[in-house]
Amino acid sequence: MSTATTTPQRDAARQEGTKHARRFGLPIATALVMGNIIGGGIFLLPASVAPYGTVSLVAFGVLTLGAIALALVFGRLAHRLPQTGGPYVYARAAFGDFAGFLAAWSYWITAWVSNAALAVAAVGYLDVLVPIHESKAATIAAALTLQWLPALANLAGTRYVGAVQLVATVLKFVPLILVAVGGLFFFDSANLGPFQASGGGTLGAVSASAAILLFSYLGVESAAVSAGEVRDPRRNVGRATVLGTLGAAAVYLLGTLSVFGTVAHDKLVTSTAPFSDAVDVMFGGSWGGAAVACMALVSMLGALNGWTLLSAQAPYAAARDGLFPKVFTVKRRGVPTVGVLVTVVLASLLTVYNYTAGTKGVFEILVLVTTFTATVPYLLSTAAQIYFLLSGQSEKVSRARLARDGVLALAAFGFSLWLVAGSGYAAVYQGVLFLFAGVLVYAWMAARKQRASSQGVNEEARA
């Protein structure tokens, strides 16, 4: 083996061995998945689906099965290809550079636009604790601070990313579980309201409520994207993905059910803080709003911490293969630092634009677009798994698990298609434009890669 090959490996090993760069074990990888799936949306979900009645719990159950199937597929893919990049790695291995680039590009767009959305939403909860809405400058400063604090934790190294993620997950889930489980002791079936409250058919109500709930499971791929930073990824990525998804599903379902049973249906339909209303019913008083605001802030900071890391991983993996600018390969303390910085800067600019442009709905449209762009890597990953199964690649397929893996892959692909359909016509239209913009970037990077390859061949021929 040549020195040119071994030196980067030794450098990488030394880098991973620094005190600031540490591989994630199973607990932190699981916390990463759970923290990224559950952001701040859980605090509004019960009120969002209440108009459809308790039939929305059926939609939740169906979605949970789809999310678990997707999680299992990512676990199998990570076992075969345990490298940083997740969906990018799988799509490229199955379908080539262009598919891999589309996966990385769409995932990157999803990450930094979603970070801006999380920060803006977090400011709304912060305003409950510290009124800042009267000052636009204070509001912008708060939103930017909420973005840059997780970014600084990431720049400090994977050791600190993991610590912040684990603490944020614990602080987030302890009060959530208290409400989810404690609410069952105050459960009153009279509060549930009708099973189907929308006036249409049951199937239509399930589909309509599912359209709202569909995106509550985005983030199941978190451990797979960071596989290169996970200890023993062939074993731990799959376990963390499934455990994290099951944990998030339990909190979602129990939390929604508890709120349904503690807050009267007619009040829940118009509630802007359903968990706060549930706490008020359980313990009396009016302190629930502040308690829920604290929970939401912790939840969103944890999600921002995890998504900031993921936003840098996909372009890092693509840049190593010459499909993203080379600067994205810069890595310090186990973290792709340039990717983190570019992501937080773009998210910050979008946040400032949201507060200063004065055009209503622009930010909401961009956020809706991310619900489409997030599903592109899912579709490509599940398609890659189907390709591996059908192509008979013995090194990537376990024949003993062929039938089970095939059923799971088809279920996950169907779930991903449902995500696309649920994002709506406008989001799909806008999202396709984002993808086509990426095609131009791919053309530029592919041309540079080809030119560099041709120059190398010519130099070898002359030698």
What confidence tier does 345 reach under pLDDT thresholds 50, 70, 90? very high
Whether 59 shows a pLDDT value over 80: the answer reads: yes
| Most confident segment among 36-50, 75-89, 270-284 | 75-89
Region 332-337: mean pLDDT is 79
Averaged pLDDT, 383-392? 86
Calculate mean pLDDT across residues 149-155.
83
User: Kindly report the CA angle at 302 between 379 and 154, in degrees rounded to 5?
Assistant: 90
Output the pLDDT for position 52. Answer: 83
Q: Is 398 left (phi over 0), alpha (psi -120 to 50) or beta?
A: beta
CB atoms within 10 A of CB 183: 24
Q: Give the pLDDT confidence of 217-254 residue by residue, as tens digits.
A: 777 877 777 777 777 777 788 888 888 888 888 888 88
Asked if the model's pLDDT at residue 366 lies above 80, the reply is: no
CA within 13 Å, CB half, 32: 32
CB-CB neighbours of 6 under 10 Å: 10
The pLDDT of residue 91: 92
The answer on pLDDT for 14 being more than 60 is: no
Enumerate helices (H) and strands (E) in the chain, giving the number of each: 19, 0
Least confidently predicted of 91-95, 144-148, 196-200: 196-200
SS3 content of the chain, % helix, strand, coil (to 5): 80, 0, 20
Specify which of 120-124, 170-174, 178-182, 254-258 reaches the highest per-range mean pLDDT. Answer: 254-258
Q: What is the CA radius of gyration of the chain?
A: 23
156: number of CA atoms within 13 Å, CB side? 13
* Confidence label for 379 from pLDDT (cuts 50, 70 and 90): very high
Q: Which pLDDT band, with edges at 50, 70 and 90, does 66 fall under?
A: confident
Nearest to 233 by CA among 439, 389, 23: 23
CA torsion sign for 307, 309, 311, 314 is negative
Count how many Cα atoms sit within 13 Å of the Cα of residue 399 in the half-sphere of its side chain: 4
pLDDT category at 380 given cuts 50, 70, 90 is very high
Q: Give the pLDDT of residue 22.
A: 53
Shortest CA distance to 108 belongs to which of 392, 442, 386? 442
How far from the centroid of its chain's Cα atoms is residue 219's Cα?
Answer: 3
Average pLDDT, the chain: 78
Whether pLDDT at 11 is above 60? no
Cα dihedral 186, 189, 193, 194 sign: positive
Query: Which tops the pLDDT comparison, 377 or 236?
Result: 377
Instruction: Spell out the residues 6+ positions from residue 16 whose beta carbon is closer than 8 angstroms to its own.
Output: 23, 334
Confidence category of residue 8, pLDDT binned at 50, 70, 90: very low
What whole-number distance in Å separates Cα of residue 137 and Cα of residue 286? Answer: 30
Mean pLDDT of 254-279: 83
- pLDDT at residue 93 above 70? yes
Nearest to 380 by CA among 442, 323, 435: 435
Identify the burial level of 457 via C-beta atoms within 10 angstroms of its C-beta, where 0-12 means exposed, 13-18 middle and 19 or more buried: exposed
- Neighbouring C-alpha atoms within 13 Å toward the C-beta of 58: 13
* pLDDT confidence of residue 24: 65
Give the model's pLDDT for residue 36.
Answer: 73
Question: Which segment of 119-123, 168-172, 370-374 scores lowest on mean pLDDT?
Answer: 168-172
Taking the CA atoms of 267, 273, 274 and 280 in sequence, report the sign of the dihedral they define. Answer: negative
What CA–CA distance (Å, rounded) separates 317 from 226?
Answer: 10
Q: 171 or 385, which is more confident?
A: 385
Is residue 397's pLDDT more than 60?
Answer: no
Does position 5 have pLDDT exceeding 60, yes or no? Answer: no
Q: Which band of pLDDT confidence, cut at 50, 70 and 90, is reported for residue 40?
A: low
**Cα dihedral sign for 391, 395, 400, 403?**
negative
Does the structure show a pLDDT above 70 at 164?
A: no
The most confident of the ranges 16-25, 73-82, 446-455 is: 73-82
Q: What is the pLDDT of residue 390?
A: 85
Q: Which of 42, 25, 62, 72 is nearest to 382 (CA)?
A: 72
Largest CA distance in the chain: 85
pLDDT at 279 over 60: yes
Can you read off the two tokens belonging to residue 284?
């009396």
Provide the pLDDT for residue 99.
92
